Amino acid sequence: MIDKLIAFRLPLTVAAALGLFATTSALAGECPKDQVAANAMEPGATAPEGVTDDVLASIDLSSKGGDWKGNALRMRKLVVQPGGVVPWHSHDARPASILILEGTITEYRSSCKVPIEHKAGEVTAEFGDLAHWWKNNGAKPAVLYSADILPPMASDADTM
Protein backbone atom coordinates (compact mmCIF):
# COMPACT_ATOMS: atom_id res chain seq x y z
CA MET A 1 0.00 0.00 0.00
CA ILE A 2 2.78 2.44 0.92
CA ASP A 3 4.58 1.66 -2.35
CA LYS A 4 1.42 2.57 -4.29
CA LEU A 5 1.01 5.75 -2.25
CA ILE A 6 4.63 6.77 -2.90
CA ALA A 7 4.31 5.91 -6.60
CA PHE A 8 1.12 8.00 -6.79
CA ARG A 9 2.39 10.97 -4.77
CA LEU A 10 5.83 11.19 -6.41
CA PRO A 11 4.51 12.35 -9.81
CA LEU A 12 2.21 14.81 -8.03
CA THR A 13 5.12 16.12 -5.99
CA VAL A 14 7.29 16.49 -9.08
CA ALA A 15 4.43 18.15 -10.96
CA ALA A 16 3.75 20.47 -8.04
CA ALA A 17 7.42 21.38 -7.80
CA LEU A 18 7.58 22.10 -11.52
CA GLY A 19 4.41 24.16 -11.28
CA LEU A 20 5.83 26.12 -8.36
CA PHE A 21 9.06 26.70 -10.26
CA ALA A 22 7.17 27.86 -13.31
CA THR A 23 5.16 30.37 -11.33
CA THR A 24 7.90 31.74 -9.08
CA SER A 25 10.81 32.10 -11.47
CA ALA A 26 11.01 34.17 -14.59
CA LEU A 27 13.49 35.02 -17.23
CA ALA A 28 15.17 38.29 -16.44
CA GLY A 29 14.23 41.52 -18.12
CA GLU A 30 15.26 41.55 -21.72
CA CYS A 31 16.41 44.29 -24.02
CA PRO A 32 13.49 45.52 -26.15
CA LYS A 33 13.96 44.16 -29.68
CA ASP A 34 14.03 47.65 -31.19
CA GLN A 35 16.86 48.64 -28.79
CA VAL A 36 19.27 45.77 -29.59
CA ALA A 37 22.45 46.86 -31.38
CA ALA A 38 26.14 46.01 -31.45
CA ASN A 39 28.23 48.25 -29.20
CA ALA A 40 25.05 50.01 -28.09
CA MET A 41 26.31 50.88 -24.60
CA GLU A 42 29.66 52.45 -23.80
CA PRO A 43 31.74 50.82 -21.06
CA GLY A 44 30.65 52.02 -17.65
CA ALA A 45 32.17 51.97 -14.19
CA THR A 46 35.49 50.12 -14.02
CA ALA A 47 35.77 49.64 -10.26
CA PRO A 48 33.43 47.93 -7.81
CA GLU A 49 31.63 50.24 -5.41
CA GLY A 50 29.34 49.33 -2.51
CA VAL A 51 29.37 45.63 -3.36
CA THR A 52 30.47 42.56 -1.44
CA ASP A 53 31.41 39.47 -3.43
CA ASP A 54 31.66 36.29 -1.35
CA VAL A 55 32.65 32.96 -2.89
CA LEU A 56 30.36 30.36 -1.31
CA ALA A 57 31.79 27.30 -3.06
CA SER A 58 34.18 26.42 -5.83
CA ILE A 59 34.79 23.14 -7.66
CA ASP A 60 37.99 22.50 -9.61
CA LEU A 61 36.83 20.99 -12.92
CA SER A 62 40.32 19.80 -13.94
CA SER A 63 39.48 16.16 -13.13
CA LYS A 64 37.06 16.21 -16.08
CA GLY A 65 40.11 16.54 -18.37
CA GLY A 66 40.33 18.08 -21.80
CA ASP A 67 39.03 21.61 -22.15
CA TRP A 68 37.94 21.62 -18.48
CA LYS A 69 41.53 21.64 -17.19
CA GLY A 70 42.11 24.69 -15.02
CA ASN A 71 38.43 25.75 -14.98
CA ALA A 72 36.37 26.07 -11.82
CA LEU A 73 32.65 26.10 -11.20
CA ARG A 74 32.01 28.84 -8.68
CA MET A 75 29.00 29.97 -6.65
CA ARG A 76 29.02 33.51 -5.23
CA LYS A 77 26.77 35.82 -3.29
CA LEU A 78 26.91 39.49 -4.23
CA VAL A 79 25.22 42.18 -2.16
CA VAL A 80 25.02 45.49 -3.99
CA GLN A 81 24.14 48.42 -1.74
CA PRO A 82 21.97 51.31 -3.01
CA GLY A 83 24.17 53.24 -5.43
CA GLY A 84 26.60 50.29 -5.58
CA VAL A 85 28.22 49.08 -8.79
CA VAL A 86 29.37 45.79 -10.28
CA PRO A 87 31.97 47.11 -12.76
CA TRP A 88 32.16 46.66 -16.53
CA HIS A 89 33.20 43.13 -17.45
CA SER A 90 32.74 40.65 -20.30
CA HIS A 91 31.49 37.09 -20.54
CA ASP A 92 33.25 35.88 -23.67
CA ALA A 93 35.29 33.40 -21.60
CA ARG A 94 33.16 33.15 -18.44
CA PRO A 95 29.54 32.01 -18.74
CA ALA A 96 27.36 32.82 -15.75
CA SER A 97 23.79 32.61 -14.53
CA ILE A 98 22.62 35.25 -12.06
CA LEU A 99 19.65 34.90 -9.73
CA ILE A 100 18.31 38.17 -8.33
CA LEU A 101 17.15 37.09 -4.88
CA GLU A 102 16.22 40.44 -3.32
CA GLY A 103 15.81 44.00 -4.53
CA THR A 104 16.25 45.30 -8.05
CA ILE A 105 19.35 46.04 -10.10
CA THR A 106 19.91 47.79 -13.42
CA GLU A 107 22.08 46.28 -16.13
CA TYR A 108 23.89 48.40 -18.71
CA ARG A 109 24.59 45.93 -21.53
CA SER A 110 26.85 46.37 -24.54
CA SER A 111 24.15 45.06 -26.85
CA CYS A 112 21.26 47.23 -25.64
CA LYS A 113 20.68 50.97 -26.10
CA VAL A 114 18.64 51.25 -22.88
CA PRO A 115 19.25 49.99 -19.34
CA ILE A 116 17.58 46.70 -18.34
CA GLU A 117 15.85 46.48 -14.96
CA HIS A 118 16.12 43.11 -13.16
CA LYS A 119 13.77 42.25 -10.29
CA ALA A 120 13.80 39.72 -7.45
CA GLY A 121 12.99 36.23 -8.69
CA GLU A 122 14.50 36.71 -12.14
CA VAL A 123 17.42 34.79 -13.60
CA THR A 124 19.67 36.05 -16.36
CA ALA A 125 22.17 34.05 -18.42
CA GLU A 126 25.40 35.74 -19.43
CA PHE A 127 27.58 34.30 -22.17
CA GLY A 128 29.26 35.03 -25.45
CA ASP A 129 29.68 38.47 -26.95
CA LEU A 130 28.41 40.27 -23.86
CA ALA A 131 29.98 43.04 -21.80
CA HIS A 132 28.08 44.96 -19.16
CA TRP A 133 27.97 46.58 -15.75
CA TRP A 134 25.30 46.72 -13.05
CA LYS A 135 24.12 49.45 -10.69
CA ASN A 136 21.67 49.33 -7.81
CA ASN A 137 19.47 52.36 -8.43
CA GLY A 138 17.00 51.20 -5.78
CA ALA A 139 16.60 52.11 -2.11
CA LYS A 140 17.35 48.61 -0.75
CA PRO A 141 20.35 46.28 -1.15
CA ALA A 142 20.17 43.92 -4.13
CA VAL A 143 21.17 40.33 -3.33
CA LEU A 144 22.43 38.27 -6.26
CA TYR A 145 23.64 34.68 -6.53
CA SER A 146 26.06 33.99 -9.35
CA ALA A 147 27.08 30.59 -10.72
CA ASP A 148 29.90 30.87 -13.22
CA ILE A 149 32.69 28.93 -14.85
CA LEU A 150 35.96 30.58 -14.01
CA PRO A 151 38.46 30.08 -16.88
CA PRO A 152 42.08 29.06 -16.35
CA MET A 153 44.44 31.82 -15.21
CA ALA A 154 41.58 34.07 -14.09
CA SER A 155 41.56 35.34 -10.55
CA ASP A 156 38.52 36.08 -8.43
CA ALA A 157 39.58 39.73 -8.36
CA ASP A 158 39.17 40.32 -12.08
CA THR A 159 35.91 38.45 -12.59
CA MET A 160 32.97 40.20 -10.95
pLDDT at position 67 is: 87
pLDDT at position 155 is: 58
pLDDT at position 5 is: 42
Distances (CA, A) of 12 to 23, 136, 142: 16, 40, 34
Where along the chain do its domains lie?
28-158
Residues in the chain: 160
Structural fold of domain 28-158: Jelly Rolls (2.60.120)
User: How far is Cα 106 from Cα 29, in angstroms, rounded to an integer?
Assistant: 10
Per-residue model confidence as pLDDT tens for the chain (160 residues): 444 444 444 444 333 433 433 333 344 588 999 999 999 988 999 999 999 999 999 999 999 989 889 999 999 999 999 999 999 998 888 899 999 999 999 999 999 999 999 999 999 999 888 899 999 999 999 999 999 998 886 655 445 5
- SS in 3 state form for 30-56? CCCHHHECCCCCCCCCCCCEEEEEEEE
Buried/exposed 31-50: b ≥16 CB within 10 Å, e otherwise? beeeeeeeeebeebeeebee
pTM assigned to the model: 0.76
